Amino acid sequence: MPVESNSKNMHILNNKTTPSPVPVLAIDGPGGAGKGTISRLAALKLGWHYLDSGALYRILAFAGTLHHIDLKDEISLSKLVPALNIRFGIGSDESVWLDDQEVSDQIRTERAGAAASIVAALPLVREALLQQQKAFRRAPGLVADGRDMGTVVFPDATVKVFLTASAQERAQRRYNQLIAKGIDGKLCDLLADIQARDERDSNRSVAPLRPAADAVLIDTSQMGINEVLITVLNLINLQTP
Ligand code: DC
Which residues span the domain enclosing 218? Answer: 24-235
Establish if 10 belongs to a structural domain: no
- Please state whether the predicted TM-score (pTM) of the whole model is above 0.85: yes
Tally of domains in the chain: 1
Q: What is the pLDDT of residue 181?
A: 82
Contact by Cβ (8 Å): 98, 84: yes
Q: What is the pLDDT of residue 178?
A: 86
Residue ranges around ligand 1 (CB below 6 Å): 31, 53-54, 57-58, 113, 116-117, 120, 146-148, 197, 201
Ligand 1 mutation pick, 39, 53, 105, 125, max ligand atoms within 8 A of CB: 53
Question: Atom 16 of ligand 1 has which residue's CA nearest to it?
Answer: 147
Q: What is the pLDDT of residue 75?
A: 98
Establish if 68 belongs to a structural domain: yes
Establish if 113 belongs to a structural domain: yes
Establish if 5 belongs to a structural domain: no
For ligand 1, the distance from its centroid to the CA atom of residue 1, given in whole angstroms, is 39
Q: What is the pLDDT of residue 17?
A: 64
Establish if 8 belongs to a structural domain: no
Ligand 1 mutation pick, 38, 71, 106, 117, max ligand atoms within 8 A of CB: 117
For ligand 1, the distance from its centroid to the CA atom of residue 31, given in whole angstroms, is 7
Establish if 50 belongs to a structural domain: yes
Establish if 51 belongs to a structural domain: yes
Establish if 11 belongs to a structural domain: no
CATH of the domain at 176: 3.40.50.300
Q: From the first residue on, what is the mean pLDDT of each consecutive set of 10 residues in the chain (241 residues)?
A: 37 58 96 92 96 96 96 97 91 89 92 93 96 95 96 97 95 90 88 91 87 96 95 91 71
